[in-house]
Amino acid sequence: MSNDEQKILKELNSRMEEFRTALKDEKKNQKFLENIPGSDVLIRFEVFLPSPNPEEYVDGLFLYMNDEGEIVTAEYYFRDISDVEVIAIPEEDLPVVKDLFGDFFNMDED
């Protein structure tokens, strides 16, 4: 495990302890929730891409949309029999994904 991964895991464990404490004590829970600086609403859609050989592998996209229905980021995944890999769509390729799938999940009736 790399130093960065160890650092992140240590911080995650610290946060989980903080969450457990907040769940056990109503005053600490209230204080914790009051100090959260904000949040974003992102909706994730999964797009299953056609695979020429689905018994061997499948791939697809995770599209993350804001509450206005705009794709804000995307990830590509590749799943074979033994493993799953997920990588972020590079910024320079994101406009292609947005153009192709931008209206795919649009629920507005025109």
**Model pLDDT for residues 23-81, shown as the tens digit of each residue:** 999 999 999 999 998 877 789 999 999 998 999 999 999 999 998 889 999 999 999 98
Whether residue 108 is predicted with pLDDT greater than 80 in this model: the reply is no
| Six-digit token string for 3 | 């130093």
d(CA 36, CA 72): 22
Specify whether the CB–CB gap between 86 and 74 falls below 8 A. no
Whether residue 107 is predicted with pLDDT greater than 80 in this model: the reply is no
**Taking the model in full, what pTM does it have?**
0.65
Q: pLDDT value at position 25? A: 94
| Six-digit token string for 63 | 């599209």
